[in-house]
Amino acid sequence: MSEPNSAELCELLALHLVDGLGPQRIATLLERFGTATAARRATPQQLLDLPGFGPQVAAKVAAQLALVDGQAEWERIQRAGVTLLVQGKPGYPEALEPLPAAPRLLFLKGTYLLQDARAVALVGTRHPDAYGKRLARSLAEGLARAGVTVVSGLARGIDGLAHQAALEAGGRTLAVLAGGLSRIYPPEHGELANRVVAAGGLFSEATMLEEPTKWRFPARNRIISGLSRVVVIVQAPTDSGALITAEHAADQGKLVLAVPGLVDNAANAGCHRLLREGAILCRGVEDILEELDGVPVDTPQKIDKSFPKNTIKSPGPPPGLDELQLRVWELLSDGSKHGDELARLASLGVAQLAGVLLSLEMKRSIRRLPGNRYERLT
Q: What is the mean pLDDT of residues 257-270?
A: 95
Q: Count the neighbouring beta carbons within 10 Å of the beta carbon of residue 63.
A: 11
* pLDDT tens column, 107-155: 999 999 999 999 999 999 999 999 999 999 999 999 999 999 999 999 9
Q: What was the pLDDT predicted at 1? A: 41
- Closest to 211 (Cα-Cα) out of 171, 163, 241, 177: 177
Exposed, middle or buried: residue 333 (CB in 10 Å: 0-12, 13-18, 19+)?
Answer: exposed
3-state secondary structure of 118: coil
Amino acid 153: pLDDT = 97
User: Quick one: which of 217, 226, 196 has its CA closest to 301?
Assistant: 226
The predicted model scores a pTM of 0.75
The DSSP code sequence of 24-78 is: HHHHHHHHHHSSHHHHTT--HHHHHTSTT--HHHHHHHHHHHTT--HHHHHHHHH
Are 193 and 216 within 8 A, CB to CB?
A: no
List C-alpha distances in Å: 218 to 20, 38, 96, 119, 278: 16, 30, 16, 20, 22
Find out whether 154 and 160 touch, Cβ atoms under 8 Å: yes
CA distance 251 to 306: 9
pLDDT at 142: 96
- Residue 40: exposure state from Cβ atoms within 10 A (0-12, 13-18, ≥19): buried
User: Helix, strand or coil for residue 109?
Assistant: strand
Residues paired with 374 in a beta bridge: 337, 368
Instruction: Tell me the pairing of strands 105-110 and 83-86.
Output: antiparallel
How much is the mean pLDDT over the chain? 87
Name the pLDDT band for 4 (thresholds 50, 70, 90): low
Contact status, residue 114 vs residue 259, Cβ threshold 8 Å: no
Q: What is the pLDDT of residue 378?
A: 62
pLDDT digits (tens, 9 = 90+) for 170-209: 999 999 999 999 989 999 999 999 999 999 999 999 999 9
Among candidates 126, 248, 231, 144, which has minimal Cα distance to 196? Answer: 144
Domains and CATH numbers, the chain: 7-72 (1.10.150.20), 105-292 (3.40.50.450), 323-376 (1.10.10.10)
Separation in Å, CA 357 to CA 39, 367, 373: 55, 9, 11
> To the nearest 5 percent, what fractions of the chain are helix, strand and coil?
45, 15, 45
